[in-house]
Structure 1
Amino acid sequence: MVPANIRIVLVRPTHPGNVGATARAMKNMALRSLYLIEPEKFPSPEATDRAAGADDVLQGAVICASLDEALKDCHLVIGTSARSRRIEWPTLDPAAGARRLVEGARNGPVALLFGQERTGLLNSELDRCHFVVTIPADEAYSSLNLASAVQILAYEIYREALAGAAVSPTEVREGRLASSDDMQRFYQHLEEVLQEIEFLNPDKPRYLMRRLMRLFNRASLDDNEMNILRGILNAIQQGRHKN
């Protein structure tokens, strides 16, 4: 059975037909949790027509005003991208990405992000992702239609769920995994402290925070680890204030 904790998140979709086709692709593969961030046209008759019987998925779609809202309580976020970036994110193939999502959904909500049709996910949106999935395609024409990309990854998720992807025995956690909200508060605190100790120059930040975010995202911190790190940051600030 496909875990109900897997969210399919479309970021600012512009074509209602793609939203409807996404709902159909999801229902084909037993996915039900659709989140739409600032959809340009929704609800829409075109979306309903393209859903072709997946009306229940459309009706249950959660409309969000921000990425923060869509990722609330998620402890694992995987983005999708067809193009290379100056700073590369940890990248998985579709099967490995699906395996991470199915395993992660056992511990709470997880999200799979798809960017706007024209631009894909922005770097600021990829910063919220622990991993990026790239679907192999011909380099001469590698951009997939949004709903097609959803169908491919939904199929991989379904296959992994049917196979009963095993939880790694080495992944023993003392507490719950840190949510996306927890991680954002930590990154804000970390940036504040790095500026205070003059390790990070806000006028010339380069890519320091992005690299640090990638590092800690890969670690998949739990609550106890998060509390330790936040405690260290608080101690640094208190020590500086005493001097």
Structure 2
Amino acid sequence: MEKILPLSRVRIVLIATSHPGNIGAAARAMKNMCLDKLVLVRPRLFPHEGATARASGAGELLENARCVDSLEEAVTGCRLVIGASARLRTITWPQMTPRETAEKVVSHYDETDVALVFGREHSGLTNEELDLCHYLVNIPTNPDFSSLNLAMAVQLLAYEVLLASNEVGPAKQQGQLPAEVEKFEGFIQHLEQTLTDIDFSDPRKSDKLIRKLRRFFMRAAPDDEELNLLRGILSAAQGRKSMRRDETSKG
């Protein structure tokens, strides 16, 4: 099977990896499947000879790997972020199979960077990290033995992406692409502050509300222009509340 499409806009993001060997094995899996963008969020030990040994010929991926302090930094510039997790959550994230994930990745990467995010070996992704993900991919396994090694999970999803890139090819998006993650996060912060300013929510108890609203707006996938419109509405609401307060204090 010949590679017919570039995969350089697909990032593999590993969060707080404990064992350097898993980083090396993930790099080897990536090179097998024509992926070369590796981003590490707060790895416990890196660089490390264990990672180099397990990379087994994919050392250049480790040399070029980018180390960052947060998932927000790792996915900056992406308009599609997919988190891999074996755990179900109280608030449902839109879920996909590995094959559906690969098709979604291929349909976007010709026009924007995309990220596949993998959590800690023993505890996966936190809800706060999943907040930055548009979708959740769950790899079906034996329910009596569901634990997958990190590098195995990377290998499986990377294979599906390569397969989809050869069989499907990138589909042109209709209309505007969703806003970049950092712009969407700016909107969510503005929304949270506005709800506090207009006394709609108590900041001490608003986490569940904000998470539900986040999922709602993520499903809507607003583009840059739509986010600007929404933020304009929020600013107007904040301004009107401030005006009412001023009038009350004068009265």
CA contact (8 A) 1:74 1:179 kept: yes
Gap regions ≥5 residues in structure 1: none
CA contact (8 A) 2:108 2:170 kept: no
CA contact (8 A) 1:73 1:181 kept: yes
Gap regions ≥5 residues in structure 2: 245-251
2:125 aligned counterpart, secondary structure: coil
**One of 153, 159, 162 as aligned partner of 2:157:** 153
Change (3 A) 1:2 1:136: farther
Query: What residue is the counterpart of 2:185 in the other structure?
Result: 184
| Mean Cα deviation higher: 202-211 or 145-154 | 202-211
CA displacement 1:73-116 (0-9 Å, x = unmatched)? 11111001001111121100001111111222122111110001
Q: Return the alpha-carbon distance in structure 1 between the equivalents of residues 73 and 63 of structure 2.
A: 18
Q: Return the alpha-carbon distance in structure 2 between the equivalents of residues 132 and 98 of structure 1.
A: 12
Aligned length: 240
CA contact (8 A) 2:98 2:138 kept: yes
Larger Cα-atom Rg = 2
Query: What residue is the counterpart of 1:235 in the other structure?
Result: 236
The two structures, once aligned, show a CA RMSD in angstroms of 1.4
Q: Return the alpha-carbon distance in structure 1 between the equivalents of residues 75 and 157 of structure 2.
A: 19
Matched, 1:114 2:115: no
Query: What residue is the counterpart of 2:20 in the other structure?
Result: 16
Query: What residue is the counterpart of 1:133 in the other structure?
Result: 137
Query: What residue is the counterpart of 2:166 in the other structure?
Result: 162
Matches within 5 A, 1:40-189: 40-167=44-171, 171-173=174-176, 177-189=178-190
CA contact (8 A) 1:2 1:158 kept: no
Superposed displacement of residue 31, structure 1: 0.2
In percent, how many aligned pairs have the same letter? 45
CA displacement 1:190-231 (0-9 Å, x = unmatched)? 001111222222232251111111111122221111111111
CA displacement 1:2-40 (0-9 Å, x = unmatched)? 431110000010101100000000000000000001111
Q: Return the alpha-carbon distance in structure 1 between the equivalents of residues 221 and 104 of structure 2.
A: 12
TM-score calculated relative to the size of structure 1: 0.95
Query: What residue is the counterpart of 1:216 in the other structure?
Result: 217
